[in-house]
Structure 1
Amino acid sequence: MADLRPSPVIALNRAIAHGYAYGPVAGLDLLDAARAGGGLDSNPLALAVEADLVARQGDRSRAAGLFRQAAATVGSAVERRALLDRADELSPYGRMRHPGRGSAALSSAVSSAGSRQPAVTLGYPVRGRIRH
């Protein structure tokens, strides 16, 4: 297909296929080549593909950042949520990276005694007071 009708999207799909068939390094090499023409500059899915390949290489932190970057540029709320969920899966602290999505990172909770204590939620929203 790439020979019959070359396009940036077909090159992106080829990078994905090679990434699965021959490993993430092969996919990333083809992705770099596909991006060289500039046709994928505004394509958030190219970032998502890079994130997936980087995750498969083992760099979870960088991959999570790339998924967040892709999520910031998509127009669809459903796609944004899927990309952020994927970033959360790769983050060491889960949803703590997205406090605006209803979860809290290291928030301060007021106990019944009135002292401030950190509440580590590990992806669960903090609601109300935490009592110890």
Structure 2
Amino acid sequence: MRKNSIKNTRINAEVQKELSNIIRNEIKDPRIHPMTSVVAAEVAPDLKFCKAYISVLGDEEAQKSTIQGLKNASSYIRTKLAQSVNLRNTPQITFVLDQSIEYGVHMSKLIDEVTAKDRNGENED
């Protein structure tokens, strides 16, 4: 199975959806921030490994504690994933902090500031 095949894309989407449900509904760890979302999941073609990109809406301390809580609960999450998704192999999950949403919000603020300054500069002329 190639990395970008239709089957791999469907598996990625299904694993992402199930990981999101498990993190939101099943895990009771207080370290995991309530505003945690699974941005993407990349399952290897041999179904042995999975990279789950996690986004946390909070400060840096909340992000670190959430990733640590998810790493500690990875075996439980893998067991729940095996029960909900019928795959030949249940992948070993690696959680990666994804800050692309945060970066996008920051860039959007910068763009808004520049356009506001530009409008004010035009009004002065």
**Same fold per TM (> 0.5)?**
no
More strand by share: 2
Give me the TM-score of the superposition, normalised by structure 1.
0.28
